[in-house]
């Protein structure tokens, strides 16, 4: 990154903002981040004047459900008044056409709804208005569940509890009941208890049959009105598409560029704008800005501006690029911090493959990932594809194909083996798998600590590089302890001698214990001593327990790698046991159970393994060397829709 300062006369600020915006690579920043004393400066603009016309126009266009892609409007320069006038006029015209369409659609919907209701009363040969307009009796039209109609027998002694059925469907009977006004409340409560649902009929001097015929004539007319309203809207949009696209694009552009203007400060007749650009765009931007009279430019390498927190733009090789999704999810690196994306790409793919190892299921995961990316543009799809390939590789090594643990035995025999080299379910391999998983964890934790040392030296934090739990002292302490125990307990080699313990375990731990004052001293801070040595020692005694537990828990977390290898084989073993209870291999039942079992195991385990590997990345490894407290590079850029 390059920090860029642009100073010029107010007469040329619009030209400068246009160049910066059109570049698509300018990340504006606050001027007071670069210049602490700006009390004599004023903000050019606090409110984005293009926000309201743009929002209103886009809201109207969204109702049309049509797309209006952005277009080049560099040669189109209407005034602010013209832009606002066009937005108001177009918004009002579109809203009017939309209202007309919605009104026609509402009338049509209501007519169809009324028709569907009144059809249930087609057997009632009386005018609706006369029934509803009786003076001493109230009519209730609606429907009753069929079992409630049968329950009316309970009320046969009450001459007013009666339900006249007109039509019926699968679940309900449609009809009407009548009640004297002086007993209406009583009768209503009875029918309410029978789950009567009232239906409102429009009073009219027509019988239901006549009303049905009326609706059948009216609905085609309403459908025609709706078609005309839609056609009128379509014609308007077609006739004005070019104009709408140009004005919309210009409003989008100016709204975006106003974001640059809002960061600029003015002093007398001059302005100042600051921000960041990628180094590769420096020459091109300088060339364009130098063409503007009165403009003075100052570029500075971001490495020399660390106190201003330069934004970060991730840049990785093609194979690692999909895993920027995981890095950004955690937080982008600070400018002087290493980008962990390549580390994540390598470790995530390998660990996923080990935990999911199955040639057939891995192939399905790879294909699913490819489809998710190509069709749905889902970032996780680009990650699942290499993970599926890795699962296929380790599945081949383990000899597992859709859970069939011996499907690849002929291949291993041709390669000179008596049987497949790794039998996951064999008892003698269980401890080997567990210890291998822990070994992978130890290796990755030491690599993470080495990355921390490199980052700390890069940030010139020598104390952290040398004395922290993930610094040189931490690497020596952790590595010496692990390898000493391995040699003593598993290889029978006596290495935990007194000099070994004192020099490689005790001394590094003491350095870790006093990491804070030693770090301050090495970093050249004058006030390097704690306020109270006694308080510091007591406090760090408790923290030391946490440090030791951290080493243990971080290491033991990698047991899940071996556990999932065993769990995968165990789950598929259960599937085959269930399949064999249904039928012999080759039978329809056996194939169905194995197929469904594979689908369930693949989906479930893909989800669990993805989460567990990400957990290892974030909590066990990132915590050793990565903060993720950087600012993402967010240039002002007009995006095509």
Read off the pLDDT of residues 546-590 as tens digits, 9 standing for 90 and up: 889 989 999 999 999 999 998 888 899 899 999 988 888 888 989
Mean pLDDT lowest for which of 123-137, 159-173, 447-461? 123-137
User: Is residue 582 included in any domain, yes or no?
Assistant: yes
Amino acid 402: pLDDT: 93
One domain for residues 358 and 449: yes
One domain for residues 333 and 455: yes
Residue 630 CA to residue 628 CA, distance in Å, equals 6
On whether the CB atoms of residues 257 and 49 are closer than 8 A, the answer is: no
One domain for residues 258 and 132: no
On whether the CB atoms of residues 10 and 269 are closer than 8 A, the answer is: yes
The structure tokens listed for 258 are 């106003």
On whether the CB atoms of residues 335 and 593 are closer than 8 A, the answer is: no
Find the radius of gyration of the CA atoms of the chain.
Answer: 38
One domain for residues 283 and 380: no
Residue 131 CA to residue 125 CA, distance in Å, equals 11
Q: H or E segment at 267? A: strand 265-267
Amino acid 611: pLDDT: 94
Stated length of the chain: 641
Query: Which residue has better confidence, 80 or 45?
Result: 80
Residue 30 CA to residue 272 CA, distance in Å, equals 10
One domain for residues 147 and 244: no
Residue 416 CA to residue 9 CA, distance in Å, equals 81
Q: How far is CA 442 from CA 128, 339, 404, 452, in A?
A: 85, 22, 32, 15
Q: Which of 152, 183, 206 is the last residue of a domain?
A: 206
The domain spanning residue 141 has which CATH number? 3.30.70.100
Residues 6+ apart with CB under 8 A from 540: 513, 514
Residue 517 CA to residue 533 CA, distance in Å, equals 10
Mean pLDDT lowest for which of 33-47, 310-324, 484-498? 33-47
Amino acid 471: pLDDT: 93
User: Is residue 121 included in any domain, yes or no?
Assistant: no
Task: For residue 393, count CB atoms less than 10 angstroms from its CB and return exposed for 0-12, middle for 13-18, buried for 19 or more.
Answer: middle
Report the relative pairing of strands 631-632 and 311-312 from DSSP bridges: parallel
Amino acid 344: pLDDT: 95
On whether the CB atoms of residues 162 and 177 are closer than 8 A, the answer is: yes
Q: For the segment 93-114, what is each residue's pLDDT rounded down to a tens digit? A: 999 999 999 999 999 998 898 8
Q: Output phi, psi for 29, to 5 deg.
A: -135, 170
Q: How far is CA 415 from CA 5, 392, 411, 419, in A?
A: 66, 18, 6, 10
User: Is residue 16 included in any domain, yes or no?
Assistant: yes
Q: How far is CA 261 from CA 49, 607, 617, in A?
A: 11, 46, 41
Q: Which of 312, 340, 373 is the last residue of a domain?
A: 312
Q: Cα 507 vs. chain centroid, distance in angstroms?
A: 46
In order, the DSSP letters of 279-333 are GGGHHHHHHHHHTSTT-EEEEEEGGG-GGG--EE-----TTTGGGHHHHHHH-PP
Q: Which of 284, 312, 340 is the last residue of a domain?
A: 312
One domain for residues 308 and 380: no
Residue 538 CA to residue 517 CA, distance in Å, equals 15
Q: Output phi, psi for 510, to 5 deg.
A: -65, -40
Q: What is the pTM of this model?
A: 0.77
One domain for residues 190 and 247: no
Confidence of residue 75 (pLDDT cuts 50, 70, 90): confident
Query: Which residue has better confidence, 426 or 277?
Result: 277
User: Is residue 244 included in any domain, yes or no?
Assistant: yes
Judged against a pLDDT cut of 70, whether residue 202 lies above it is answered with no
Q: For the segment 475-518, what is each residue's pLDDT rounded down to a tens digit? A: 999 999 999 999 888 888 888 899 999 999 999 999 999 988 89
User: Is residue 559 included in any domain, yes or no?
Assistant: yes
User: Is residue 103 included in any domain, yes or no?
Assistant: no
Angle at 66 between CA 65 and CA 69, to 5 degrees: 135
Report the relative pairing of strands 42-43 and 164-168 from DSSP bridges: unpaired
Mean pLDDT of 307-336: 92
Amino acid 546: pLDDT: 87
Residue 312 CA to residue 314 CA, distance in Å, equals 6
User: How many domains does the chain divide into?
Assistant: 3
Neighbouring C-beta atoms of residue 127, cutoff 10 Å: 17
Residue 20 CA to residue 641 CA, distance in Å, equals 21
One domain for residues 248 and 194: no
One domain for residues 253 and 353: no
One domain for residues 422 and 559: yes
One domain for residues 417 and 528: yes
User: Is residue 498 included in any domain, yes or no?
Assistant: no
The structure tokens listed for 613 are 């590997």
Q: What percent of the chain has pLDDT over 70?
A: 99
Amino acid 280: pLDDT: 92
Residue 605 belongs to what domain range? 321-460+523-625
Amino acid 46: pLDDT: 63
Work out the mean pLDDT of the chain and round it to a whole number: 89
- 152 DSSP 8-state letter: G
Amino acid 412: pLDDT: 87
One domain for residues 304 and 331: no
User: Is residue 267 included in any domain, yes or no?
Assistant: yes
């Amino acid at each position: 990154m390059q920090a860029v300062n642009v100073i010029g006369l107010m007469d040329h600020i619009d030209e400068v903002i246009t160049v910066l915006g059109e570049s698509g690579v300018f990340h504006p920043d606050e001027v007071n981040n670069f210049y602490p004393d700006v009390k004599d400066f004023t903000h050019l603009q606090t409110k984005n004047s293009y926000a309201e016309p743009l929002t209103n126009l886009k809201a109207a266009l969204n109702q049309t459900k049509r797309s209006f892609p952005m277009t080049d409007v560099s040669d189109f320069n209407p005034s602010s008044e013209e832009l606002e006038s066009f937005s108001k006029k177009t918004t009002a015209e579109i809203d009017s056409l939309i209202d007309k369409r919605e009104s026609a659609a509402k009338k049509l919907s209501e007519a169809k709804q009324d028709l569907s209701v009144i059809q249930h009363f087609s057997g009632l040969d009386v005018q609706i208005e006369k029934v509803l307009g009786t003076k001493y009796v109230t009519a209730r039209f609606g429907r009753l569940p069929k079992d409630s109609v049968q329950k009316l027998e309970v009320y046969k002694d009450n001459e007013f509890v009666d339900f006249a059925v007109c039509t019926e469907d699968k679940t309900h009977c449609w009809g009407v009941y009548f009640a004297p006004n002086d007993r209406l409340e009583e009768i209503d409560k009875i029918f309410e208890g029978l789950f009567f649902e009232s239906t409102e009929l429009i009073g009219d001097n027509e019988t239901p049959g006549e009303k049905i015929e009326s609706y059948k004539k009216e609905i085609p007319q309403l459908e025609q009105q709706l078609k005309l309203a839609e056609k009128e809207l379509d014609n308007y949009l077609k006739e004005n598409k070019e104009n709408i696209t140009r004005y919309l694009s210009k409003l989008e552009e100016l709204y975006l560029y106003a974001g640059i203007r809002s960061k600029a400060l003015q002093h007398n007749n001059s302005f100042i704008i600051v921000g960041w650009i990628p180094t590769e765009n420096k020459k091109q931007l300088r060339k364009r800005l130098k063409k503007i009279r009165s403009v003075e430019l100052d570029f500075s390498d971001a490495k020399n501006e660390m106190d201003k927190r330069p934004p970060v733009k991730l840049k990785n090789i093609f194979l690692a690029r999909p895993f920027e999704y995981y890095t950004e999810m955690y937080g982008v690196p600070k400018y002087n911090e290493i980008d962990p994306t390549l580390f994540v790409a390598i470790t995530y793919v390998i660990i996923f493959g080990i935990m999911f190892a199955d040639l057939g299921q891995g192939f399905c995961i790879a294909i699913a990932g490819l489809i998710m990316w190509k069709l749905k543009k889902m970032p996780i799809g680009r990650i699942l594809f290499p993970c599926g390939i890795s699962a296929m590789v380790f599945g081949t090594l383990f000899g597992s194909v859709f859970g069939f643990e011996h499907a690849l035995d002929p291949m291993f025999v041709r390669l000179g083996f008596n049987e497949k080299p790794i039998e996951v379910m064999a008892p003698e391999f269980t401890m080997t798998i567990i210890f291998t998983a822990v070994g992978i964890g130890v290796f990755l934790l030491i690599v993470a600590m080495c990355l921390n040392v490199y980052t700390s030296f890069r940030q010139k934090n020598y104390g952290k590089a040398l004395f922290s739990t993930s610094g040189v002292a931490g690497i020596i302490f952790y590595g010496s302890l692990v390898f000493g125990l391995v040699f003593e307990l598993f290889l029978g080699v006596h290495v935990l001698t007194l000099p070994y313990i004192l020099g490689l375990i005790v001394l590094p731990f003491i350095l870790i214990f006093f990491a804070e004052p030693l770090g301050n001293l090495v970093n050249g801070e004058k006030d390097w001593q704690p306020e109270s040595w006694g308080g510091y020692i007591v406090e760090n005694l408790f923290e030391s327990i946490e440090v030791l537990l951290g080493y243990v828990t971080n290491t033991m977390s990698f047991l899940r790698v071996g556990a999932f290898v065993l769990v995968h084989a165990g789950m598929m073993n259960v599937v085959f046991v269930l399949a064999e209870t249904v039928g012999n291999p080759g039978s329809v039942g056996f194939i169905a159970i194995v197929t469904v079992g594979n689908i369930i195991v693949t989906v479930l385990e893909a989800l669990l393994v993805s989460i567990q590997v990400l957990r290892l990345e974030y909590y066990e490894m990132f915590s050793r060397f990565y903060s993720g407290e950087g600012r993402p590079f967010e240039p002002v850029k007009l995006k095509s829709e």
